[in-house]
Amino acid sequence: MKKCLVLYKLCIFSFVLYSCSNNVKKDNSNKKNDTVPVDSSVTLSNAFNDLFLDSMKLQHFVNKHPEYNIYQKQYFDFYKQRNYEYVWFDTSGMSEQASNFMNLLNTTIIETNDSSLYSKKLTILYSSFVNDSTKHRKVSPLQTELYLTGQFFLYSSKVYNNKNIGATALAWFIPKKKFDFTKLLDSLIVAKGRGEDNYLPLNKQYKLLQEELAKYYDIQKSNSWDPISEPKKRYKPGESSSTIAEIKQRLFILGDLQQQDTTKQYNVALTEAVRSFQHRMALQETGIIDKATLKELNYPISETIKEILVNLERVRWMPPESHSNYIVVNIPEYKLYVYDKGQLQFDMNVIVGKEGTGTVIFTGDLKYIVFSPYWNVPSSIVEKEIVPAMDSDPYYLEEQDMEFMGYNNKWQPIIRQKPGEKNSLGLVKFLFPNNYSIYLHDTPFKDLFSLKSRSFSHGCIRLQDAKKNDIVFIKG
């Protein structure tokens, strides 16, 4: 069968992923004579983060960087509205918003081929923090903070075709106070998100998540959510119990049980409803109510609402869907989905980064497929794992089909693993150039894919079946 490569857009995401902005109504907060006062209600106790900058240093930065001088008013209005609170950093380091914005910026540069949005200096500064998590303890993040903000203004003016976009519109993207979930619900549910239409065209995924938010909000208002008792470890089809009646009612409220049923019998309809709920909760779809399933059924609705709100916040930073062929990796679900012409073709289990070397959220274009790859072992793995193994076993490299390639500029050994059965990348890897050195790859170690939690990698994504249908990401 003749095969041809089909390019795919790959999205690594936390929950849902598409959102962006290319249309905005004029914001009157930036008229020439308008004066934006400092919002002194933003304090250390309620601020979104816990770092504040000096307005004199802000003025010095703007004077020193003529490329951002056009945005001088935006700079001061923006930070006044935050009482000069940092946007992109807190005391723990660079914030999630910074990585999300850089992802959005890089995607826009690629898709629009607009090199004016690229800042070499910002890329260097950002990479220094990404590659060294302790950097913020050695160097003040102020310069990177203000470069990110300036580039954010530039990005916004390009996307909105409005160089005078005001502080009110820009502040919508980045919260300045800790989440007030009541106000967010009012905005998203009561006002039906009308205010957001001023700043971005809400895409299908965002709106679907809003619908889920409305659903759970209605459930919270209309139902008590007392924990279901757990007199047994598990319930199976055919059994009868008052607890089973409670479970039926809850599954009906959640939409998994199609018809209300007050009987105590564990029937076929309940079995299917339990499977539906287990599927949504990423549990084993046994149709049996076990301890894990009951725990999810008892999960507070208020917490679910908060999780949806947090993900609605995240989704605003993700690029819009611009391809009908794309791959989605759902990190918490440990799943990969492949779409062709907008239709799901197949999915598979994946292994993602473990704690401390987690798989980051970003998008990129799949550009290369490498068969029988070498594995260039990252220096961090060489230092923490390979060198100690070499010290205890002089034949370790030979036994693992690895070879010594010299030393890097820090006089650390450079190690790579030869193609073959022992190669950690398996028989093939799929590359989509990115700043995080993350890619998809095969693996010779298949046992881990059967586990419920699959965060074992150093950041890259291992595929359960890299030869899915004989032609993964290759179409006949």
Residue 126 CA to residue 447 CA, distance in Å, equals 37
Query: How much is the mean pLDDT over the chain?
Result: 78
Contact yes or no for 256/276 (Cβ under 8 A):
yes
pLDDT beyond 50 at 294: yes
Write down the pLDDT at residue 252. Answer: 96
Give the orientation angle of helix 242-254 with respect to helix 268-280, to 10 degrees: 50
pLDDT at residue 4 in the model: 32
In the predicted model, what is the mean pLDDT of residues 237-245? 92
What is the structure's pLDDT at 194? 53
pLDDT-derived band of residue 184, with 50, 70 and 90 as boundaries?
low
Rounded CA separation 446/427 (Å): 13
Quote the CA–CA distance of 12 and 358 in Å, as a whole number.
Answer: 12
The whole-number pLDDT of residue 195 equals 52
Q: Is 93 left (phi over 0), alpha (psi -120 to 50) or beta?
A: left
pLDDT band at 463 (very low <50, low <70, confident <90, very high): very high
Q: Tell whether the model's pLDDT for residue 444 goes beyond 90.
A: no
Predicted local confidence at residue 13, as pLDDT: 47
SS3 content of the chain, % helix, strand, coil (to 5): 40, 15, 45
Pairwise CA distance, residues 384 & 343, whole Å: 43
Domain limits, the chain: 27-178, 226-299, 326-373+419-475
Look up tokens 């500064």; give the residue.
125
Which of the four pLDDT bands, split at 50, 70 and 90, describes residue 8?
Answer: very low
Q: Give residue 211's pLDDT band: very low, low, confident or very high (50, 70, 90).
A: confident
Q: 15 is written with which tokens?
A: 């929950």
Mean pLDDT, range 352-370, rounded to an integer: 74
State pTM to two decimals: 0.62
Task: Please check the confidence at residue 379 and state whether its pLDDT lies above 70.
Answer: yes
Contact 318, 101 (CB under 8 A): no
pLDDT tens digits for range 304-330:
988 888 777 777 776 666 667 888 888
Residue 298 clears pLDDT 90, i.e. is over it: yes
Give tens-digit pLDDT for 417-435. 999 888 888 889 888 776 6
Least Cα distance to 79 among 29, 39, 50 occurs for 39
Average pLDDT (363-378) is 85
- Given a contact cutoff of 8 angstroms between Cβ atoms, the answer to whether 352 and 463 are in contact is no
Domain spanning 226-299: which CATH class is it, in words? mainly alpha
Q: Report the alpha-carbon distance of residue 402 to residue 419 in Å, rounded.
A: 9
**Taking CA 451 as the corner, what is the angle to CA 446 and CA 456, rounded to the nearest 5 degrees?**
70
Would you say 124 and 132 are in contact if contact means Cβ atoms under 8 Å apart?
no
What is residue 192's three-state secondary structure? coil
Rounded CA gap, 431 and 365, in Å?
A: 8
Residue 122 has pLDDT above 60, yes or no: yes
Token pair of 371, please?
């068969």
Q: How remote is the C-alpha of 280 from its chain's centroid?
A: 19
For residues 192 and 181, give the distance between their C-alpha atoms in angstroms, rounded to a whole number. Answer: 15
- CATH 3.40.50.1100 is right for the domain spanning 326-373+419-475: no
Kindly tell me the sign of the dihedral angle through the C-alpha atoms of 51, 54, 58, 63: negative
